[in-house]
A and B are shown apart, each in its own frame.
Chain A
Amino acid sequence: MVVFVGLFAVVLTISLLVVAGFLRAAARTEIDEELRLASTLFLRQLDARSQQLVVATRLLSGDYALKTAVATVEHETTRSVLENHRRRIGADVLMLVSLDGVITADTRPVDQHRATFALPELLEETEQTQDPTWVVPLDGGLFRLTIVPVLAPDPIAWLCAGFAIDDRTADELRRLTGLHVSFLRRQGTGFAMQASTLQSAERADLERGLADARQRGVVRIQGRPHVARAEQVAADVLVVLQRPLIEAFAPYNRLFWILAAVGGAGVLLSVLGAILVARRVSRPVLALADAAGQVAAGDFDASVPVHQRDELGKLAATFNQMVAGLRDRERVRAALQRAERLKRFFSPQLAEVLSAGDESVLASHRREITVVFCDLRGFTAFAEAADPGEVMRLLRDYHAILGPLIARYEGTLERFTGDGLMVFFNDPVPCPDPALRAVRLAAEAREAVQKLLDGWRHRGYVLGFGTGIAMGFATVGRIGFEGRFDYAAIGSVTNLADRLCQEAGDGQILISGSVYAEVERLVEAVRLGELTLRGFARPVLAFSVLNLRACPPLPAASSVSTGDAGRAG
C-alpha cells in the first residue's frame, strides 16, 4: 500500500514537472507573442497619435490668419501667431520654415529665426509622404515632428509642429500597454536613454543590457530579468518595451501552484483512500484469517463481524455460516461420542436421549420396573481353579452373548459383577411389556449360555446359569458422586430378583408371582410355591419358566418422555 501510494506520488511529481516544463515553454512563447502584440499595438498607437498630430497641424496650416501672417513676413506677428497656434494643438514647439529651408519663425525660447532648418531632408520627404511625421532628435531631446505645407493655395512655407517625447509621454504609453517604455537615441556606437518609465538606475541597466534585449529579448534590470522588445522607430531611435519576467510569468506560476496543490491533494486523497481500503479490505481479511485460525485450533465459537454488504461482507457471512455448520457438526459428533459411551449402560434409544442432552430422565424417580438378575453357578470355584486367561475368555464369551440380547430387548444394564449382571426394563425408556421382555431375554440367554457352558463342561469345568426375575416399584435414578455415577434401581424388587436368581439352579429361570401374572399366557411355567427368601419376611410365590409358548413380534419400546414420568408417580 505504501509502495502504491509512493509510486503514485512519484508519477504525479514527474507529470507535474513535465507539465511545468511545458507550461514554462508555452508561457515563454506566449509572453514573447504578447510582447510582440503589445509592441505592434504600441507602434500603431504611436502612428495613430502621429496621424492625429498631422491632422491637427494641417488644420492649423489652413488657418487664414496664419497664411496672412506668413505672407506679411512680419516676424513678431508671425511668431505670436505660431505661439497661439502651438497652444491650440498642445505642441511643444511650432516653427515656420521657408520653402528654401530657412526658419522664418519659431516658438522656442531661443528663436532660431533665419537659421537653416536642421532637418532639410524631411522637407523633401514631406512632399512625398502621406504621413509626414518623424521621431527625430532635436535640441538634445527627442521629438515627434510633423511637417505640413502652408498652402495659399500653393505652398508658401512649411509648418513644423514638434511634440517632445519625454518621461510623461512614456508614462502615457505605459498606461496603454502596461509595459515599461523607453526611448533611446543613438550616440556614437551605443544608445543613450532619452525618455523612459524606468528609474534612473534601471535606465543605466537597460542601456548596458540593450544588446541582450535586442538579440535575446531578455535584459536584467536591477538584477531581475525582464522580457524586452526593441523597435526601431526612426533611423537613430529605438523604443524598448519591457516587463519583469516574474510578472509575465505570474499567471503561469499561479497555474503551476494550482496544479501542484491539486497534485498534493491527490496524493493526500490517495493516502486516505488507501487507509480506507485497508480498513475495508485488510481488516476484514485479517479478522477472517484470525477466526479461521481459531477454528483450526478447535474453537468453533469463533465468528467475524459482518459490517459490509460487499464481497468481503458476503465472505464473512459465509464464513460465519461455515463455522456455525462446523459447530453443529462438532456438537453432533460430541453427542454421538457421548451416546457411544452411554450405550454401554443404556439401550441405544436411551443413549440417544441422554446424548441429546436430556438428562432429566436421570433424575431420581419411582417407577414400576421388571428386574432380571442372572449369574453363573460354580463360577467362583472355576475362577479359582482355572487359568486367569480362561476365566477372562469365558466372561468375554458370556458377556458377548448377553450384551447383544440386552440391547435387542432394550433393557437397561444396571451393573456387571463378574459373572452376574442386573438388567431392568421400563426405565428410563418405558416399554409396554417389560415382564415379557425380561422373560424372553432370560429364555434366550439361558439357551445361548447353556450352549456356551456345554463346551466348558466338556473341558471339565462344572458351570451353570441361573436367572431371577421380579417386578415392582423401585426408585430409579442417578447415584454416585462427581466423576463416577451409576444409573441404579433401588428397592425390594431388586433384592427379590437377586434372591430368586440365587434360588435358581442351573438352567432355571425363577420369576415372581407378579411377573408370572403378566406373562402367564405366553410361557409354560411350573409353580414352585411360596419360597422363603432371606431378607423377605413373608414367603414369596415363585414360578420356574420352562418354555415360551409363542413368540409374538417384539413391540418397540416407546420413546422416553417426561409424560411417562407422571405414570411413575
Chain B
Amino acid sequence: MTRRSSLTALLGAVALLAAGGTGPAVARAPSVDATVTDQSGKPVLDAVVTLTPLEGPPSALRPTTAAMDQVNKEFVPAVLAVVVGTPVSFPNRDNIRHHVYSFSPAKKFELPLYIGTPSAPVVFDKPGPVALGCNIHDWMVAYIYVVTTPYFAKTGADGRVRLEGVPAGPYEARVWHPRLRGEAVRPITLAEDEDGRVTFSVTLRSEPRPVPRREPYEGQQQSG
C-alpha cells in the first residue's frame, strides 16, 4: 500500500483544486461514494471508478509519478490507475531479473531483463488499460489503467471507494476492471452540498485457467 500515498496525494490535489477558493460562502465540493459488486453480489477489489465531467472544458491533469514494483516475483500493485502522461517507474525489488512488457494498444513497451530500477520511467501517454507481463514469469500480471480525468479511485477489498471533492455537475461514471466483461458506464449528476452515491454491479470473467496466474510453489502469500 505504499503507492497509495501518491494516489491519495493526487486525490488531495484534485480535492483542493475542486474546492477552489475555500470559504464558508463557497459551496463545498461533494464527494461520491462508489460501490462495485460482481454478478454474484460479492464486492470487487481493484476496480477503478472514474468520473468524467460531461460539461465544461477538459479537466486539467497534473501527472505525478507512479511506480509498479516487482516484489517476490509479483507486480505490486496488481492494478494501478494513472492519468495520461504519468511516468511510471518499474523498480525491481527482487534479486533476480525481470522482463516487463506490454503489447496493449495503450502502451507497448518492453524492459528486457533488468535488475534494480531502470533509469527512465515509462510514460503512459494514451488512455486505456495496459496489461503488464513478465516474459520469464508467466504468472506475473498487473494492469495500469490510464485515465483522462482527475476523478478516479480504486476499490478496496470491500468493493467501496470514495471520490472526494468532485464539483457538482453531470458526469459519466465508469468502472474498469481487468476481468470486466463489457462496459460499466452510467451518467451521474452531482448537486451542490450533496454527496453522490453510485453503485455498479458488474460482470466479471472467471480467471482464465490454462496458464497459472500465480507462481505455483512460493506465491501463496502474495495475494492481492
A, B bound: yes
Binding site for B on A (CB under 8 A): 58, 62, 64, 67-68, 70-71, 127, 130, 132, 148-149, 151-156
> What separation, in Å, do the CA atoms of A71 and B141 have in the docked complex?
17
Contact A152 B208 (CB under 8 A): no
> What separation, in Å, do the CA atoms of A132 and B135 have in the docked complex?
23
Sample (19) of A-B pairs whose CB atoms are under 8 Å apart: A58-B211, A62-B138, A64-B101, A68-B103, A70-B103, A71-B103, A71-B108, A127-B208, A130-B209, A130-B210, A149-B208, A151-B211, A152-B101, A152-B103, A152-B133, A153-B132, A153-B141, A153-B211, A155-B208
Contact with A along B137-158 (1 / 0, CB 8 A): 0101100000000000000000
| Neighbouring B residues of A70 by C-beta, 8 Å | 103
> What separation, in Å, do the CA atoms of A71 and B138 have in the docked complex?
17
Contact A152 B210 (CB under 8 A): no
Contact B101 A149 (CB under 8 A): no
Q: With A154-B131, A156-B103 as given contacts, are A148 and B210 in contact (CB-CB < 8 Å)?
A: yes
Interface assignment of B178: CB less than 8 Å from any CB of chain A:
yes
Contact B141 A64 (CB under 8 A): no
Chain A residue with Cβ nearest B143:
A154
| Neighbouring A residues of B134 by C-beta, 8 Å | 153
- Contacts between chains A and B (CB distance < 8 A), count: 42
Separation in Å of the B146 CB from the closest CB of chain A?
16
> What separation, in Å, do the CA atoms of A411 and B68 have in the docked complex?
168
Binding site for A on B (CB under 8 A): 101-103, 108, 131-135, 138, 140-141, 178, 208-211
> What separation, in Å, do the CA atoms of A132 and B103 have in the docked complex?
25
Q: With A71-B108, A153-B141, A156-B103 as given contacts, are A64 and B210 in contact (CB-CB < 8 Å)?
A: no
Contact A151 B138 (CB under 8 A): yes
> What separation, in Å, do the CA atoms of A156 and B211 have in the docked complex?
14
Q: Other CB < 8 Å A-B pairs besides A127-B208, A156-B103, 20 of them? A: A58-B210, A58-B211, A62-B138, A64-B101, A68-B103, A70-B103, A71-B103, A132-B210, A149-B208, A149-B211, A151-B138, A152-B101, A152-B103, A152-B131, A153-B132, A153-B133, A153-B134, A153-B141, A153-B211, A155-B208
| Neighbouring A residues of B178 by C-beta, 8 Å | 154
Q: With A67-B103, A68-B103 as given contacts, are A153 and B210 in contact (CB-CB < 8 Å)?
A: no
| Neighbouring B residues of A149 by C-beta, 8 Å | 208, 210-211
Contact B141 A154 (CB under 8 A): yes
Contact A151 B133 (CB under 8 A): yes
> What separation, in Å, do the CA atoms of A156 and B131 have in the docked complex?
10
Chain A residue with Cβ nearest B133:
A153
| Neighbouring A residues of B140 by C-beta, 8 Å | 153
Separation in Å of the B205 CB from the closest CB of chain A?
9
Contact A153 B108 (CB under 8 A): no
Separation in Å of the B177 CB from the closest CB of chain A?
12
Contact A153 B209 (CB under 8 A): no
> What separation, in Å, do the CA atoms of A67 and B133 have in the docked complex?
11
Q: Which of A64, A132, A149, A156 has most B Cβ within 10 Å?
A: A64
| Neighbouring B residues of A68 by C-beta, 8 Å | 103
Chain B residue with Cβ nearest A71:
B103
Q: Which of A149, A151, A154 has most B Cβ within 10 Å?
A: A154
> What separation, in Å, do the CA atoms of A156 and B209 have in the docked complex?
15
Minimum-distance CB pairs A-B, first 6:
A153-B133, A71-B103, A152-B103, A153-B141, A154-B131, A64-B135
Separation in Å of the B137 CB from the closest CB of chain A?
9
| Neighbouring A residues of B141 by C-beta, 8 Å | 153-154
| Neighbouring A residues of B209 by C-beta, 8 Å | 127, 130
Separation in Å of the A73 CB from the closest CB of chain B?
10
> What separation, in Å, do the CA atoms of A156 and B141 have in the docked complex?
14
Q: Which of A58, A132, A152 has most B Cβ within 10 Å?
A: A152
| Neighbouring B residues of A152 by C-beta, 8 Å | 101-103, 131, 133
Residue among A127, A148, A153 making CB contact with B138, cutoff 8 Å: A153
> What separation, in Å, do the CA atoms of A48 and B185 have in the docked complex?
47
> What separation, in Å, do the CA atoms of A64 and B210 have in the docked complex?
18
> What separation, in Å, do the CA atoms of A155 and B102 have in the docked complex?
12
Q: Which of B103, B138, B211 has most A Cβ within 10 Å?
A: B103
> What separation, in Å, do the CA atoms of A155 and B108 have in the docked complex?
15
| Neighbouring B residues of A71 by C-beta, 8 Å | 103, 108
> What separation, in Å, do the CA atoms of A130 and B209 have in the docked complex?
8
Chain B residue with Cβ nearest A148:
B210
Separation in Å of the A286 CB from the closest CB of chain B?
96
Separation in Å of the A504 CB from the closest CB of chain B?
164
> What separation, in Å, do the CA atoms of A177 and B135 have in the docked complex?
42
> What separation, in Å, do the CA atoms of A346 and B110 have in the docked complex?
160
Chain B residue with Cβ nearest A126:
B210
Separation in Å of the B49 CB from the closest CB of chain A?
21
> What separation, in Å, do the CA atoms of A68 and B132 have in the docked complex?
14
> What separation, in Å, do the CA atoms of A287 and B174 have in the docked complex?
126
| Neighbouring B residues of A62 by C-beta, 8 Å | 138
Q: Which of A152, A153, A154, A156 has most B Cβ within 10 Å?
A: A153
> What separation, in Å, do the CA atoms of A151 and B208 have in the docked complex?
10
| Neighbouring A residues of B208 by C-beta, 8 Å | 127, 149, 151, 155
| Neighbouring B residues of A58 by C-beta, 8 Å | 210-211
Separation in Å of the A254 CB from the closest CB of chain B?
52
Separation in Å of the A382 CB from the closest CB of chain B?
163
